[in-house]
Chain A
Amino acid sequence: MRRVGFLVWKELIELRQDPRLFGIVILAPILQLFMLGYAATTDVRNVPVVVADADRSAASRDLIARFEASPNFTVIGIVTGANEIDPYLERGRAWMALSIPAGYGEELGAGRPETVQVVADGSDANSTNIGLGYATSLIAAYAQQLVAARGSGGGGGGIDARVRVWFNSRLESRDFMIPGVLALLLLMITTNLSAMGIVREKELGTLEQLNVTPLQRWELVLGKLLPYALVGMIDVFLVLGVALLWFQIPLRGSVWLLLALNLVFLLSTLGLGLFVSTISSTQQQAMMTTIFFFLTPMIYLSGFVFPIENMPRVIQWVTYLIPLRYFLVIVRSIFLKGVGLETLWPQALALMAWGAAILMLAIARSTKRIA
């Protein structure tokens, strides 16, 4: 055990001698959480709208004022002809165009039904869908007011649907995304660190020197991992602090459980890095393997932004191999639902098994490789 201690000491000294790396590892996660915390919102607000108002009446200005007053829309320009909206949509300056026909005010004033057109840029299908929904319901509400103002009150009956959203009643995507960003940052920082850890010594030739010391293989692995785990845990505290104090994400579950499972997750990310280290002969290979074969699939297929239930069946099976998938469920559930191990034990178990397996694999590989 003392030998492991020495190795840990050596690694820590190396880390300290490299102030730039140290700074990145400590500062980067905080900076990123700040940025991503603000960026990672799938809420659609301020949809840029261009209005083609061929009517130019008090009634049409009233409708435009509704759009201007709504937090969901920003009116970026008012033109007259419907053909003038093309450049706005082509360039992507406006996502949506509201086209009010000539004679709009007159028709409405006479109590005859009138139709306005909403043209949406479908190249961003997701936001467009949501934006169209906003526009439709805004106009529907306005239409209802128009009817009510004319005193011809609506009929009774019908279904009165009351929608209640659980766990995140304001539908803030931030409350959902920030715990995810937390998991992602941990994964990236720690995997990178440990992936370069051993292969670097290989490349610089210092691994030979470690080999002639009386260190056992597992001691070498442990000594390499512990300092990185330490750095990882520091990152956990920093990032958690920002999430809770700055973004005020509600933490409804137990903070101890969260920390404990964070440690388990770190085990698997560090193990993954080590594994990459053992199968690469240069740092460039290690970097590419990590980014291409581990980080990218994890980001896309873990459910971080793209819901797993939308994926084709085959891919859904593949996602069971991804540790981040389990950890995301864990972090989000602890944050948003406040549930404990009684619900999360399958994920916790899977994460542990994954971590143990990859570590064993890494140790086995490194024995073969170095000896």
Chain B
Amino acid sequence: MRKAIAVAHKEFRQIARDRRTLMILLFVPAFFLMLYGYALNWDIRHVRLAVEDQDHTPESRSIVSAFVNSGYFDLVASVDDTRIAALMNTNEVRAVLVVPSGFGRRLRTGARAPMQVLVNGDNANTATTVVGYALTILQSESAHYQRGPWAPLLSVQPRVWYNAELRSTLFLVPGLIAYIAMITAVVSTALSIVREKERGTMEQVRMAPLGAPAFVVGKTIPYFLISLASAIGIILVAMVLFGVPMRGSWWLLLLALSLFLVGALGLGLLISSVSDNQQVAFQLAMLASFLPTLMLSGFIFPISSMPAFLRAVTYAVPARYFLIALRAIVLKGAGAQAFWQDLVALAIFAVAVLVLASVRLRKEWA
């Protein structure tokens, strides 16, 4: 252990000398959370809408105003048939309402009045939401004109827990926290061993009376402290600026965060120990941390929608467990009994990568 601390001490002094790197590691993460937490959301508002009204009756106008008054749509153009394609191609509008002539007359006489909603589907996610908005508006408008007894026998009462207004910020910010913490941790260690290899200082370390595990632990300690500080920074920013609640226990949060960070740092060290030069390490780091955390952690893309083999892969992504724990602690106020499996998984991952990195180094030194 004393040897590990000696390595940590040396590493600290090296970090302190490279001010730019230290500043990036400490402060950029919090800044990033501010930027992205502010910039990103899934809440779709201001859908640009064009209307082709061939009817020009009070009924057709009331449909259009129902769309505008819903707050989801902005009317940007009144068009005729020929311009629709051009507007959709350039993404100037996302949706077009086509009200055929005779629409108002049919409604007044109690006949079914057809009309068309064209939706730009290039972004399937946005399009699904837009279709949902449009159908809801039309359903409630339609109810004004319907005749006859139509009492639905069965109705639904939807209730949303943990995030009653369905604010996407509350969902995205924990994901961003995991992403930023992961990147900061991996980036800080991924080059640390391979750099010594490339510069030849590894030979000196090898000569020193120092075991591989002590070396690996010593390399981890300073970066752990730095990344813990910056991770706590981003969590505070999340709470102060974005109204992310804290419904659970701080100690549990600290535990989950520490396990996650040690795992991430260990992953960086493992990458560093298998790479021959920094270029390789960089590419590996992107492959092993950047992309999986973004794509396979359930941060953006729901894991349950993935095919089975890919769901199996996600079990090797630590951010997956951290996200479950983080959301459970912060949003749901759950206790450890709800997610202890995820904490155990994080711990296993951390130990596994650290051991692998030491084994790999020992083999290289032997």
Contact = CB atoms under 8 A, between A and B. Distances in A.
Interface of A: 18, 20-21, 24-25, 28, 32, 35-36, 38-48, 74, 87, 89-92, 95, 108, 111, 113-130, 132-133, 135-136, 139-140, 142-144, 146-147, 150, 152, 154-169, 171-173, 175-176, 188-189, 192-193, 196, 200, 203-204, 282-285, 287-288, 291-292, 295-297, 299-301, 305-307, 309-312, 315, 329, 332-333, 336-337, 339, 343
Interface stretch (B257-265, B303-311, B344-352): B303-311
The 7 closest A-B pairs by CB, nearest first: A155-B148, A122-B163, A168-B121, A173-B124, A165-B121, A143-B154, A159-B142
Interface in B253-277: 275-277
A310 B307 CA distance: 29
| Most interface-central of A18, A159, A171, A306 (chain B CB within 10 A) | A159
Contacts of B343: none
7 contacts: A39-B306, A164-B117, A166-B120, A167-B122, A171-B121, A189-B283, A282-B18
Contact of B155 (A115, A165, A171): A115
Interface string B144-167: 011111111111111111111011
A165 B116 CA distance: 10
Contacts of A124: 171, 298, 302
A270 to B, nearest CB: 15
Contacts of B310: 35, 38-39
A115 to B, nearest CB: 5
B42 A126 contact: yes
Interface string B1-36: 000000000000000001011001100100010011
A156 B147 CA distance: 6
A70 to B, nearest CB: 14
Interface string B322-345: 001001100110100011000000
Given A161-B134, A292-B28, A310 B146 contact: no
Given A42-B301, A154-B150, A292-B28, 7 more contacts: A25-B283, A39-B310, A123-B170, A136-B158, A157-B107, A163-B135, A192-B286
Contacts, number: 362
A232 B208 CA distance: 43
A106 B156 CA distance: 17
Contacts of A292: 24, 28, 32, 183, 187
A128 B283 contact: no
B161 A120 contact: yes
Contacts of B44: 307, 310
B286 to A, nearest CB: 6
A192 B283 contact: yes
B287 interface: yes
Contacts of A90: 328, 332, 334, 338
Contact of B284 (A24, A40, A108, A282): A24
A171 B159 contact: no
Contacts of B135: 161, 163
B278 interface: yes
B186 to A, nearest CB: 9
A166 B88 contact: yes
Contact of A129 (B116, B122, B129, B285): B129
A92 to B, nearest CB: 5
Nearest to A310: B41
Given A42-B125, A166-B118, A143 B153 contact: yes
B45 interface: yes
B127 interface: yes
A46 B304 CA distance: 6
B28 A339 contact: no
Contacts of A200: 277-279
Contacts of A135: 156, 158
Contacts of A42: 124-125, 300-302
A280 B327 CA distance: 37
B138 A119 contact: no
Nearest to A108: B153
Contacts of B232: none
| Most interface-central of A146, A165, A196, A285 (chain B CB within 10 A) | A165
